Amino acid sequence: MNPPPARDVVTDYHRAWTSGRVEDAMRLVAEDVTCRAPGVDLVGIEAFDRLSFGPPDGGAR
């Protein structure tokens, strides 16, 4: 089975995140994710999960 195209994963992540379904969005993030955010480089899903980007409505978890 082939993985979905990256664009589909990004679109699904964005839709979930911006509609407040943070857990659904996080299920799309790889355990070994790396992310460069303003002022910090994140390594691993736990670090990424702690970063409080939050959807436009504040998205309390």
In the predicted model, residues of the chain with pLDDT beneath 70 are 52-61
| Cβ atoms of 45 and 33 closer than 8 Å | yes
Cβ-Cβ contacts under 8 Å for 11 (sequence gap 6 or more): none
In 10 A of CB 17, how many CB atoms? 19
| Site of tokens 């691993």 | 44
Q: Which residue has the tokens 């910090």?
A: 40
- pTM of the predicted model, to two decimals? 0.72
pLDDT digits (tens, 9 = 90+) for 49-60: 887 555 555 555
